[in-house]
């Protein structure tokens, strides 16, 4: 895989990651019959989880395929996960709560799915803040330890979704299954040499 090819793939991935936002804008501006606040909240939340799981899938795909260039896509996916999480949180605090911080704090304290979602968002912030090469060099081994938080963050995201949905649990359970497979592969590769 040449450097130019990887660059084209990264550009394509970047544009693909913006497609959910373009689709949401098209639906909202096209005047389709949707509740705009609910639609934006659900859409940005879903794509946050998709980007998180896609980022977590990079290492297993690289190990199984031997395509080491895939690792160059992981940071972009992680930052897009944070981008959609920011849109998700902004929609909630702005369009849903109108910047009523008292109401927001009351929601965080009293509604478990919001508590879990807020915790996941807060944990994402240091990962996004330390995503640069300079921070990687500065933190050294601690960088890897810090970025392992992505697994509990993804688990909190899945739980947030599960507790939000009241009827059809198919989609959140599908995300839970994907996360379980990814986490299971990580544990398998980590502990297999010891057992051998």
Q: For residue range 179-188, what is the model confidence (pLDDT) as tens digits?
A: 999 999 988 8
| Predicted TM-score (pTM) of this structure | 0.91
Annotated domain spans of the chain: 3-195
Q: Which residue has the higher pLDDT, 79 or 107?
A: 79
Residue 33: pLDDT band by 50, 70, 90 thresholds? low
Tell the residue number behind the tokens 């993804």, with chain if given.
154
Q: Write down the pLDDT at residue 139.
A: 87
- Inform me whether the pLDDT recorded for 39 exceeds 80: yes
d(CA 182, CA 188): 10
pLDDT in tens, 109-166: 999 999 999 999 999 999 999 998 899 899 888 888 888 899 999 999 999 999 988 7
d(CA 78, CA 87): 14
Q: What is the DSSP string of 20-49?
A: HHHHHHHHHHTT-SS-HHHHHHHHHHHHHH
- Region 10-38 average pLDDT: 88
- Report the candidate in 29, 131, 6 with the shortest Cα–Cα distance to residue 75: 131
Q: Write down the pLDDT at residue 193.
A: 63
């Amino acid at each position: 895989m040449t450097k130019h090819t990887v660059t084209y793939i990264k550009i394509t991935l970047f544009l693909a990651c913006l497609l959910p936002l373009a689709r949401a804008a098209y639906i909202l501006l096209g005047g389709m019959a949707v509740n705009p606040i609910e639609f934006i909240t659900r859409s940005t939340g879903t794509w946050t989880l998709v980007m998180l799981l896609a980022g977590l899938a990079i290492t297993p795909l690289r190990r199984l395929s031997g395509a080491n260039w895939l690792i160059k896509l992981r940071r972009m996916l992680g930052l897009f996960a944070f981008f959609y999480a920011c849109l998700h949180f902004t929609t909630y605090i702005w369009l849903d709560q109108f910047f009523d911080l008292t109401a927001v704090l009351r929601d965080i304290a009293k509604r478990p799915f919001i508590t879990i979602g807020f915790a996941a968002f807060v944990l994402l912030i240091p990962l996004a803040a330390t995503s640069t090469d300079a921070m990687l060099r500065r933190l050294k081994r601690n960088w890897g330890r810090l970025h392992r938080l992505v697994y509990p963050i993804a688990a909190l995201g899945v739980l947030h979704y599960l507790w939000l949905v009241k009827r059809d649990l198919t989609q959140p359970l599908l995300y839970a299954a994907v996360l379980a497979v990814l986490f299971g592969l990580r544990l398998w590769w980590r502990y297999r040499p010891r057992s051998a």
